[in-house]
Chain A
Amino acid sequence: MARPINEINAGSMADIAFLLLIFFLVTTTMDIDTGITRKLPPPPPEEMPDIKVKERNIFKVLVNSRDRLMVEGKGGHISLLKEQAKAFLSNPNLLDSNSPEDMPEKRQVDIPLFGGDVWVTKGIISLKNDRGTSYDMYIQVQNELAAAVSELRDELSMNKFGMKFSKLSDDEKIKAVQKAIPMAISEAEPEDIGGH
């Protein structure tokens, strides 16, 4: 006598699927990793040609093992660093004949989008840290310097295109602003700078 085969109850299928879903929700990470992106320079060649950079074109930032700053040979503070870096990179009174000696030179660079030649700073920020510097301080300094560059870019971008640099979507415009205000942060070869 053939009995009719009972159908399997699929009512709990949803519960099983829910269980799986919750498992995946718990085990996966949703947080987006954020960070400061930097590009390391390639290792120096055996015979390092001495690249001469004028003293006035370098903005020296030193961090010692006690997390104290030395900016341009004077004691500095992290809260002032951004403004100092901005003043150095922009050097507004360049064409003034009384321009201070220690401010960086500029050179003319042709950027068609800005209608011809633009004065671009030759300034380089040189960052040196001790082996004993804390990572937190190092990141703070990197952050302030990056903030200085990005604020200058924002200002220029506001001026020329009416929107912030980060909001620009046109590749040409982004390239133009980047060319006008280069991100020139150089990290020295590691060495002990004292302060133990």
Chain B
Amino acid sequence: MAKFRKKGGKKTPGISTASLPDIIFMLLFFFMVTTTMREATVLVRISAPEATQVQKLEKKSLVSFIYIGPPLNTKLGTDSRIQLNDMFADVKDIREFVQLERESKDEADRPFLTTSLKVDKETRMGIVTDVKQELRQVGAFKINYSTKKKAIIQK
């Protein structure tokens, strides 16, 4: 009988925390896979207009962004400028930008490419129209006007 007698008192053993790092790593990998890194540093001020009829922008990897708004650096003036990737750009640079975006994507995905226009609400339509005309010329027809969702007020 003595063979099976427990050594020591009846202390409950502490819970092993050896697998805690593994659990945290699992969480970490989950977040790394599901989220996207912040894209380009935005050089222009954008406060998006509000709308009620918004749709979610799906397949974020197939979306290229064009930012239009007044520069954050006030030395550059208050007129709205176009930002592509990390730099200020001109309307005529859009053609190259779209083509580069298109080439970087898989051939099968190319028809689903969307261009998201992130435009400040104070911007005049002139510059937006120019951008839209350029996008039409290049053949990037799917566009998305980035807006915030406005809560619907019950009447």
Pair A21/B124 contact, Cβ less than 8 Å = no
Q: A135-B124, A139-B49, A143-B52 are in contact. Are A35 and B35 (CB under 8 A)?
A: no
Q: Is the interface of A mostly helix, strand, loop or mixed?
A: mixed
User: B49 to A131, Cβ gap below 8 A?
Assistant: no
Q: A10-B21, A24-B28, A134-B125 are in contact. Are A36 and B35 (CB under 8 A)?
A: no
Assembly CA distance A16 to B36 (angstroms): 22
Contact A40 B132 (CB under 8 A): yes
* From B17, B27, B35, B128, contact of A11 by CB (8 A): B17
Per-residue A-contact encoding for B116-155, CB less than 8 Å = 1, 0 else: 1001111111101100110111011111111111000000
Which of B53-61, B85-93, B96-104 is the interface stretch?
A: B53-61
> Considering only CB atoms and an 8 Å cut-off, how many residues of chain A contact the other chain?
45
| B2, CB-defined interface residue at 8 Å | no
A97 and B145 alpha carbons, distance in the complex (Å):
42
Quick check: B122 and A134 within 8 Å, CB to CB? yes
| Total B residues in contact with A, Cβ cutoff 8 Å | 52
Question: Which B residue's beta carbon lies closest to that of A41?
Answer: B136
Contact between A38 and B144, CB atoms less than 8 A apart: yes
B108 touches A (CB below 8 Å): no
Confirm or deny: B20 has a beta carbon within 8 angstroms of a beta carbon on chain A. Answer: yes
- Residues from chain B with a CB closer than 8 A to the CB of A37 are 55, 57, 114, 142-144
* Contact status B125-A131, CB under 8 Å: yes
Within 8 Å of chain A (Cβ to Cβ): is B32?
A: yes
A20 & B143 in contact (Cβ 8 Å cutoff): no
Chain B hits for A36, CB < 8 A: 51, 53-55, 144-145, 147
Q: In the complex, how many angstroms separate the beta carbon of A29 from the nearest chain B beta carbon?
A: 6
Q: Are B51 and A140 in contact (CB under 8 A)?
A: yes
- Flag if A27 contacts B125 (CB, 8 Å): no
State A129–B18 Cα separation when bound (angstroms). Answer: 65
Q: For the complex, what is the distance from the CA of A21 to the CA of B29, rounded to whole Å?
A: 9
Nearest B residue to A142 by beta-carbon distance? B145
In the complex, what residues of B have CB within 8 A of residue A65's CB? 124
Q: Which residue of B lies closest to A20 (CB)?
A: B28
A34 near B129: Cβ-Cβ < 8 Å: no
B63 proximity list for chain A (CB < 8 A)? 33
Q: Which residues of A contact B144 (CB under 8 A)?
A: 33, 35-38
Return chain A residues, CB-CB under 8 Å to B17: 11, 14
Give bound CA distance, A24 to B30, whole Å.
Answer: 10
Check B38 against A33 for contact (C-beta < 8 Å). Answer: no
Residue of B17, B24, B119, B143 most packed against chain A (CB within 10 A): B24
Other-chain residue from B24, B25, B123 in contact with A135 (beta carbon distance below 8 A): B123
**Is A32 part of the contact surface with B, judged by Cβ < 8 Å?**
yes
Bound together, the chains give a CA A133 to CA B121 distance in angstroms of 10
Name the A residues within 8 Å of B54 (CB-CB).
34-36
7 A-B pairs in the complex with CB atoms less than 8 angstroms apart: A20-B28, A29-B35, A29-B36, A34-B146, A35-B147, A37-B143, A131-B129
B residues whose Cβ falls under 8 Å from a Cβ of A: 17-18, 20-21, 24-25, 27-28, 31-32, 35-38, 49, 51-57, 60, 63, 114, 116, 119-126, 128-129, 132-133, 135-137, 139-149
Q: A17-B21, A131-B129 are in contact. List 8 more A-B contacts (CB 8 A).
A: A17-B25, A30-B35, A33-B57, A34-B54, A34-B148, A35-B144, A135-B123, A138-B128
